[in-house]
Amino acid sequence: MLYKNFNYESALADAWKCLEIKEDFVEGYLRAGMTYFQLNKIEEPETEFRKGLKYTPKHKLLKDNLNQREIKKKCHTWKIATIMGRWANCSKIECMD
């Protein structure tokens, strides 16, 4: 609910609290990674998604978000995609070099 209300700092703290209680709670890594995206962090989302995949290697949302992260890393227009509300579809936006 904190994430949906754009309260990203509290959402991140909540994700970390969940992970302190249960280190293998993969939804905590997913929440942390997605929240880091919204906070415009560059490396942290990838790190969190990879941590979660250690516990559940076939977790679809973790894998999908990691793939999107890799696309955004190559894409110079990912901030524009975020502003347009299309961050999940960044692969459809052509990168401008």
CA-nearest of 42, 47, 58 to 15 is: 47
Name the DSSP class of 83.
H
For the chain, which domains are there? 8-92 (1.25.40.10)
Distance set, CA 22 to CA 31, 36, 42, 86 (Å): 14, 20, 26, 32
Q: What is the pLDDT along the chain (97 residues), one digit of tens a residue?
A: 455 566 888 889 999 999 999 999 999 999 999 888 888 887 898 999 999 999 999 999 999 888 887 766 655 455 555 554 554 444 444 444 3
Whether 56 and 62 have beta carbons less than 8 Å apart is answered as yes
Position 91 scores a pLDDT of: 45
Position 65 scores a pLDDT of: 87
Position 83 scores a pLDDT of: 52
SS3 call for 58:
coil
Encoded amino acid at 31, one letter: R
pTM to 2 decimals? Answer: 0.69
Position 49 scores a pLDDT of: 93
